[in-house]
Chain A
């Protein structure tokens, strides 16, 4: 019996001999949101393609909802939803026509497109051709399409990239609602805030391998460096920065010295971001 909504075992894929995903293993529990982070070319999209049955792994296995995706691709695909990074809607069709087409392909008999469109903030625009939509509207329609079959596992690839704050927030809310409904969410993103706000756990992928996988809190505990940042007034009247590392045996003494020897103007504590931790682990940034 396979435990977990998504289980990857030694997943491997190469394009013309170039290793894109290198023996990746992980699992995602039912109802969990996993943030999948990594720079371009790290192997995130290839991993998603293998998990969703679009690519057959060269090695290893992927189980979704307890089923081997390579053997039961169509059965699995009937129970998942996928939202792609690049818009791939039928642009000459209306939003309602797009949703109804996919609902029928999923075998959904009673389907109210208007209710779903309202949920993603597109109420009243359902009968407009998709080609007249803005990028944010198209992205919201893509999310609507991904959830129309009430998927047990939802794959979202950069769902908020390049969106206005309202559209991005609408999509974040839908992700949380889907999790509340019981769906497992696999969220591929560059956006640290999205990953931190939404994910129960995050996986860092670099050069085809998962280099870290834990809750954001644990990763910060393990790899992050907290610090006290201060602005002090120098003798010639200029503002200068001072940084005191926290969580070290020297911290109390250094804090005391800062306040006794310097004229402190402002002071605040700073936590490591997921970006900082990624750089700490891999030596490279998430956005390159």
Chain B
């Protein structure tokens, strides 16, 4: 394996790739869908999550919350006024602070807060408000806050909003369209035009050719995934963790693309496989869209292990510990895929590669 030759081939792919209509399709497709959905659901210009507070005796929490750049704060005179504001969606979350709130948390007394949550508020807003609230209390207390929050959902809808239900599908499309299609079409095109044969009688190895194409797929997949999360304001509080999940997903997408490219003889067959096998990729996203379907079914699909951490981190505010198991399974799946590609290359003479 020569890094120099991989870099040369990578350069060729990057220069030639954008000339391919597939390249434009895989980039533009998910972004266009995402923008369209943002316009439909009115989330293109995202508002800050809104927190309502009742603090009759005053509290440092109100001052600190107003200073926080990530949330908008409104104060209310009574618990009933706050409850009405949450119910009508004026704020996403509302909390009533007891009179001795600041003193109690500084002393380390255990406090139970009741939080009213607007049923239609985006999960992302809930996650940001929850995390911000805990951080502010920690700042005031100077220690891990002995705080318990009881949530009460208010309002007509208490289910996941449609723009959030569609996000997993768009993320998977972004990750797999670019990551899978570009390497697959590139290899198939080289086979159809026989340029792969020309490369193979140089010192260049198949592994180098595949690695270069795989890297382009991974890069494009990761880029598309990040763009989609940015457009949907779904990066949440753990952007690096999300990038890690997307990168592992990109490896899966590119790996599948390389395997398909090695096995298939023409673009028509690739599209046929895409049409018939797409459900295997997007199954978990469809299941997530309809909560009445038992959600455990999603675990059957490999892409579940990309999707679930993305949902948990971006919509439910989960951290590393919450998604670690799924990430390790994802790493295992990627490893299996890489082993499969290596074996496929070693058996290349028996595959369509030389047809």
Binding site for B on A (CB under 8 A): 52-56, 74-75, 77-78, 80, 82, 84, 86-93, 101-102, 104-107, 145
Say whether, besides A54-B354, A92-B19, A93-B16, A80 and B201 are in contact (CB < 8 Å): yes
Q: Smallest CB-CB separation from A87: which chain B residue?
A: B194
**B8 proximity list for chain A (CB < 8 A):** 101, 104-105
Whole-angstrom distance from the CB of A73 to the nearest CB of chain B?
A: 9
Whole-angstrom distance from the CB of B198 to the nearest CB of chain A?
A: 5
- The stretch that binds A, out of B152-160, B202-210, B227-235, B286-294, is B202-210
Residue pairs across A and B with Cβ atoms less than 8 A apart, 7 shown, are: A53-B200, A54-B354, A55-B354, A82-B201, A84-B198, A88-B194, A90-B193
Residues from 89 to 126 in B contacting A, C-beta threshold 8 Å:
none
In order of increasing CB-CB distance, the 9 nearest A-B pairs are A88-B194, A78-B203, A82-B201, A88-B198, A105-B202, A104-B8, A74-B203, A88-B195, A105-B204
Complex CA gap A87/B193 in Å reads: 8
**A92 proximity list for chain B (CB < 8 A):** 16, 19
Whole-angstrom distance from the CB of A248 to the nearest CB of chain B?
A: 49
- Inter-subunit contact B195/A105 (CB<8 Å): no
Residues from 180 to 236 in B contacting A, C-beta threshold 8 Å:
193-195, 197-205
**B194 proximity list for chain A (CB < 8 A):** 84, 86-88
**B199 proximity list for chain A (CB < 8 A):** 105
**A56 proximity list for chain B (CB < 8 A):** 349
Complex CA gap A107/B8 in Å reads: 10
**A74 proximity list for chain B (CB < 8 A):** 203, 205
Complex CA gap A84/B204 in Å reads: 17
Complex CA gap A54/B200 in Å reads: 7
Residues from 1 to 51 in B contacting A, C-beta threshold 8 Å:
4-5, 8-9, 12, 16, 19
Interface centre among B16, B202, B203, B354 (most CB of A within 10 A): B202
Whole-angstrom distance from the CB of B203 to the nearest CB of chain A?
A: 4
- Inter-subunit contact B203/A101 (CB<8 Å): no
Complex CA gap A88/B193 in Å reads: 6
**B203 proximity list for chain A (CB < 8 A):** 74-75, 77-78, 105-107
Complex CA gap A137/B193 in Å reads: 17
Whole-angstrom distance from the CB of A72 to the nearest CB of chain B?
A: 11
Sample of 6 further A-B pairs with CB below 8 A, known A56-B349, A101-B8: A52-B201, A53-B200, A77-B201, A82-B198, A92-B16, A107-B203
Whole-angstrom distance from the CB of B325 to the nearest CB of chain A?
A: 42
**A86 proximity list for chain B (CB < 8 A):** 194
Complex CA gap A198/B284 in Å reads: 65
**B349 proximity list for chain A (CB < 8 A):** 55-56
**A87 proximity list for chain B (CB < 8 A):** 194
- Inter-subunit contact A54/B195 (CB<8 Å): no
Q: Smallest CB-CB separation from A102: which chain B residue?
A: B202
Q: Smallest CB-CB separation from B201: which chain A residue?
A: A82
Complex CA gap A78/B2 in Å reads: 14
**A89 proximity list for chain B (CB < 8 A):** 195, 198
**B205 proximity list for chain A (CB < 8 A):** 74
Whole-angstrom distance from the CB of B189 to the nearest CB of chain A?
A: 10
Could you say which of A53, A90, A91, A101 contacts B201, with CB atoms under 8 Å apart? A53
- Inter-subunit contact B202/A77 (CB<8 Å): yes
**A101 proximity list for chain B (CB < 8 A):** 8, 12
**A55 proximity list for chain B (CB < 8 A):** 349, 354
**A82 proximity list for chain B (CB < 8 A):** 198, 201
- Inter-subunit contact B198/A145 (CB<8 Å): yes
Could you say which of A54, A102, A104 contacts B197, with CB atoms under 8 Å apart? A54
Complex CA gap A145/B198 in Å reads: 10
**B5 proximity list for chain A (CB < 8 A):** 105
Complex CA gap A145/B195 in Å reads: 12
Could you say which of B16, B197, B204 contacts A88, with CB atoms under 8 Å apart? B197
Complex CA gap A106/B201 in Å reads: 10
Q: Smallest CB-CB separation from B197: which chain A residue?
A: A88
Q: Smallest CB-CB separation from A86: which chain B residue?
A: B194
**B19 proximity list for chain A (CB < 8 A):** 92
Complex CA gap A88/B196 in Å reads: 8
Q: Smallest CB-CB separation from B16: which chain A residue?
A: A92
**B195 proximity list for chain A (CB < 8 A):** 88-90
- Inter-subunit contact B202/A106 (CB<8 Å): yes
Complex CA gap A93/B12 in Å reads: 10
Whole-angstrom distance from the CB of A27 to the nearest CB of chain B?
A: 21
Whole-angstrom distance from the CB of B344 to the nearest CB of chain A?
A: 16
Q: Smallest CB-CB separation from A106: which chain B residue?
A: B202
Whole-angstrom distance from the CB of A118 to the nearest CB of chain B?
A: 22
Complex CA gap A74/B199 in Å reads: 11
**B200 proximity list for chain A (CB < 8 A):** 53-54
- Inter-subunit contact B197/A84 (CB<8 Å): yes
Complex CA gap A145/B201 in Å reads: 12
Q: Smallest CB-CB separation from B194: which chain A residue?
A: A88
Complex CA gap A104/B10 in Å reads: 13
Whole-angstrom distance from the CB of A277 to the nearest CB of chain B?
A: 32
Could you say which of A78, A91, A104, A105 contacts B193, with CB atoms under 8 Å apart? A91
Q: Smallest CB-CB separation from A101: which chain B residue?
A: B12
Q: Smallest CB-CB separation from A52: which chain B residue?
A: B201
Complex CA gap A44/B131 in Å reads: 72
Complex CA gap A90/B12 in Å reads: 10
Q: Smallest CB-CB separation from A81: which chain B residue?
A: B201
Whole-angstrom distance from the CB of B200 to the nearest CB of chain A?
A: 6
**A93 proximity list for chain B (CB < 8 A):** 16
**A53 proximity list for chain B (CB < 8 A):** 200-201
Whole-angstrom distance from the CB of B190 to the nearest CB of chain A?
A: 9
Bitwise interface map of B from 335 to 355 toward A, beta carbon under 8 Å scored 1, else 0: 000000000000001000010
Whole-angstrom distance from the CB of A149 to the nearest CB of chain B?
A: 8
Complex CA gap A92/B5 in Å reads: 21
